[in-house]
Amino acid sequence: MHMRNMTHRRVRTPSILAYLSLVTILILSAVAPTLVTADATPTAGERDNSQPPVPSIGADVTLPYFAPAPSMVQKELVGPYQLIKSGKIDMTAMTITLPLYKGQMKDGAAVWYILTDTNDKGNADALGINYSAKFAYAAVGKAVRQATLEKDTTLTFDAGTVDFSPKHNVVPGDDAHPFPPKTAEAGSVGDANYSPLIQIGNTGGQIYNAPVVAFDSDAAALNAFCDGKPDYRLVHDHVMKICPRDMTVTMALTTGFSFGRPVLYLSTESNDPMVAALEDATVAPGLNDLTVGHDDGAFSAVERIFITTNGQTGPDNPQRQGLESALADRASPLNVFGGIPTVATDYSPLWDANIGTWTDVAIAKGYRARVRDEFEMLGLVNQGWITGPDGKAYGSTGIIIDCAVAMRLL
């Protein structure tokens, strides 16, 4: 779940390796994540302690002597690696600026959207977006909307509208237990047919993740937000800037982990209204038609995300994690993702939420700590230190969150 980048500069260094090392460290610089509350804004310059430190700490040489990260040689190796290459990531603002696309409904209403993932491997590479083979099994019921490619290269959508006018409102619970929140109202709500997934029927049936970021708004009205301060009655709550004039949109990113590696991701939709409110995301009822609980089994369209309710809290606490921390500390919950591109072959941005709670016994024994790996989490569940909420069995909750992973930081 969400709570609300690459700079290059010329420096004098002894070698190209030193230059790349400085670029690496600029990439690894980070700030506060997006906040969970409706009227909160990120504070530039703060450091999220989930981010990797500079490699020169404790070494006998300064940073310019360090070689480039291994990921610059081979993407699967350790180091920063941008996954959604179509966008420009700003590590200072913790945002990604993506191409903005304009389509239309059959009645002519404007649909402003982005592209983050597809099951078309060639176009994933060509467009600089993520490849997800699992999308092939998403076209069930209303989980995928139909689109037609027009001669002018725009898409016409058969169904699925989004209302961005609701006011986003999240009120934490009491001080002892901020989660669940007292109030959780999403700032954008799709109709019964809305899903971010689309299938282009007249060009081969490719499926794309195409979250809608504005709906039925004139370009002139949206151009007022080219420099920021958007009207959230018109746009998605993750939008920082939107500019039809330049056909770009800048959106806030969130930090998490996958197999021990910190990642940045873009949370855009959920089928659950409370989760959509916590994520600053759009309620997408169409996602209810996806089957959950099958993870990496045959014909599964989803991948698992592991969410903690009651991890440690404190904004400066290196062990903080979870929904209570997100609400109390106004920071990312630091969710743990399953497979992401370059780390595994089973990536899907459709995350099947497995929500866990540390037991009173685990807390009393001092076992509660930040978890960064799927199998570490599953081991704690297997040993009985983490259960489902209220002591129930651990597993799928039926909640799906659409989170495209934008960058691997390590």
The full set of domain ranges for the chain reads 99-408
Edge-to-edge strands of the sheet including 206-209? 130-131, 117-118, 206-209, 197-200, 144-149, 155-157, 101-105, 110-113, 212-215
Per-residue pLDDT tens over the stretch 296-330: 999 999 999 999 999 999 999 999 999 999 999 99
Spatial distance between the Cα atoms of 322 and 336, rounded to a whole number of angstroms: 10
Separation between Cα atoms, residue 171 and residue 71, nearest integer Å: 41
Per-residue model confidence as pLDDT tens digits over 165-224: 999 999 999 999 999 999 999 999 999 999 999 999 999 999 999 999 999 999 999 999
Helices (H), 150-229: 219-222
Distance (Å, whole) CA 255 – CA 321: 11
Asked whether the predicted pLDDT for residue 151 surpasses 90, the reply is yes
Please provide the distance, in angstroms rounded to a whole number, between the alpha carbons at the two ends of the chain: 20
Report the amino acid identity of residue 134.
Answer: K
List b or e across 342-370, with b for residues whose CB sees 16 or more CB atoms inside 10 angstroms.
Answer: bbeebbbbbbbbbbbbbbeebeeeeebbb
Where does residue 298 rank: exposed (0-12), middle (13-18), buried (19+ CB within 10 A)?
Answer: exposed
Phi, psi of 329 (to 5 degrees): -95, -5
Q: Where are the beta strands (DSSP E) in 210-247?
A: 212-215, 239-243
Residue-wise pLDDT for 55-70, tens only, equals 999 999 999 999 999 9
Indicate the pairing of strand 282-283 with strand 303-308.
Answer: unpaired
State the pLDDT confidence band at 1, using cuts at 50, 70 and 90. low
pLDDT at 19 (0 to 100): 30
- Rounded to whole angstroms, the Cα distance separating 406 from 238 reads 14
Q: Average pLDDT of the chain?
A: 90
Query: Helix (H, G, I), strand (E, B), or coil: what is residue 404?
Result: strand
Q: Classify residue 396 as left (phi > 0), alpha (psi -120 to 50) or beta.
A: beta
Tokens of 67: 């070689």
Global model pTM greater than 0.85: yes
Instruction: Give the count of beta carbons closer than 10 Å to the beta carbon of residue 151.
Output: 5
d(CA 301, CA 337): 15
Residue type, 292: V
pLDDT at position 51, please?
Answer: 87
The owner of tokens 């790349």 is: 20
